[in-house]
Amino acid sequence: MVVRELIGVYDADATLWGELSYWVGARLGQRHCSLCDITHGLFTEKSAWRDCESQLPVAFVTYHRNDQPDDVRTVIAGRLPAIVARTDDGVRMFVEPADLEACHGDPEALRALLTTRLATQ
């Protein structure tokens, strides 16, 4: 099985209201998305994440929970945030929410996890 693409799905909505409510909720300790913590700082994408992403051997794309493709939504089944792999055989879960949480917001930790898992495919 060859992984063609990795797809990350944030536990937030891709609307102006969704982004704003997540940002405020995160600041107040009421909302949390471990994938957001890894890829984004206070306002923008982390440069450390961009560096790590550029080292991955496959494309990494992201969606929000309200704009993810249907086949991804089916595999994730509400377990957010998560990363799935698109392979020649379809889409499958690749990184569970607990795995993302264990990265503690560190882009390098996620890069290492993804690289290790990709090497064993």
pTM of the predicted model over 0.95: no
**Phi/psi of residue 63, each to 5°?**
-135, 165
Q: Please state the separation of Cα 25 from the chain's center in Å.
A: 19
Would you say 17 and 73 are in contact if contact means Cβ atoms under 8 Å apart? no
What confidence tens digit (pLDDT) does each residue in 19-29 have? 666 666 666 67
What is the number of residues in the chain?
A: 121
What confidence tens digit (pLDDT) does each residue in 73-100 have? 999 999 999 999 999 999 999 999 999 9
Mention every residue, 6+ apart, whose C-beta is less than 8 A from residue 82. Answer: 8, 9, 35, 76, 93, 94, 95, 96, 97, 100
Q: Which CATH architecture best describes the domain 3-119? A: 3-Layer(aba) Sandwich (3.40)
Distance (Å, rounded) from C-alpha 76 to C-alpha 34? Answer: 15
